Amino acid sequence: METVVVTASESVNPHRSITKAVKRVIYRILYFNVLGAFLLGLTISSTDPDLIDDLGESMASPFIVAMKNAGVEVVPSIINVCILFSAWSSCSGYLYVTARMIIAMAVDRHVPQIFSRVSRWGVPYFAVMASFVLSLLSYVCLADRSLTWLKDISTMTGLLAWMTLCICFIRYEQACRAQGMNRNNLDFKSRFQPYSAYIGAIGCALIILLSGIKVLSGKWTAVNFVTNYAGVIVYVVPFVARKLIKKSGFARSAKLDLFSGRFDSTSVNKTAAPSSCWDKFMEWLV
């Protein structure tokens, strides 16, 4: 979802493309995540020796374990190739998102202005290089479990990002009500809001809190604490520090700017509706 939000600024017609993308996210989550996890739960035991090691860490993809248990020899290799391409796509996508976020912070003067520089082709090379350098941390495998710790920390920051998105929408919805803006007049309106945003924010907060259950239950170690809550510290401390240094508070809902830089849908030529079966299928798929 955060990828959809970031790419909105560079979409030719965000009112159309972002609306389509948001509507399709829920179905992709249900199909790939929920249904996939359900089917894996039916085919693999939680105590499968190929699934976890003595430390409780993942040894192999559960999809590969399922195919091996079924006695299929060729499919595991095919799944490995699919996972490799999926990982490559994910890395390139988040490299793009990270670079765009660094540019946004540079424009708002939250980071040095050098990161806002772009080439003559519009490529933000300094922001991309900074994002790439951070990605090299994933190759830190010199110590035992170091990659697992990095994975846990990055997962925690992802949950914090989702929680922040929910909080931002809650503030946006409050600003709409305070300024008399009717969301029914917008090109797209998400259902069950703002209740979904509250559920999402509270759910992410609970997962973040309970992720360190070992620390909270009395089994405190420096490693467990850093692994489970370092992401929270890295995420929260810069935000609080800037608020204190700049002595800036939170804007009131009635004064939030909801219109500056808003996209004008009338400036984009409307495309013709698909006529052939193939065009209709691609319109539905993409």
| Residue 32 confidence (pLDDT) | 78
| Residue 55 confidence (pLDDT) | 47
pLDDT, tens digit, 9 for 90 and up, residues 104-120: 888 878 888 888 888 88
How many angstroms separate the CA atoms of 88 and 68, rounded?
Answer: 24
How many angstroms separate the CA atoms of 86 and 92, rounded?
Answer: 10
Closest CA to 25 of 188, 269, 198, 201: 188
The DSSP call for residue 111 is: S
Which tops the pLDDT comparison, 122 or 164? Answer: 164
Residue 245 has pLDDT above 60, yes or no: yes
> Is this prediction's pTM over 0.85?
no
pLDDT, tens digit, 9 for 90 and up, residues 5-59: 777 667 777 777 777 777 777 777 788 778 888 888 887 777 777 776 544 445 5
| Residue 30 confidence (pLDDT) | 82
Residue 266 has pLDDT above 70, yes or no: no
Residue pair 59/53 in contact by the 8 Å Cβ criterion: yes
The mean pLDDT of the chain is 76
User: Which CA distances in Å does 117 have to 20, 99, 210?
Assistant: 32, 11, 41
Return the percentage of the chain with pLDDT > 70, whole number.
Answer: 78
| Residue 54 confidence (pLDDT) | 47
| Residue 130 confidence (pLDDT) | 84
Cβ–Cβ contacts within 10 Å for residue 281, how many? 11
Please state the domain extents for the chain. Answer: 143-258
| Residue 184 confidence (pLDDT) | 77
β-sheet bridge partners, residue 49: none
- Which amino acid, one-letter code, is at 5? V
| Residue 56 confidence (pLDDT) | 45
Cβ–Cβ contacts within 10 Å for residue 122, how many? 7
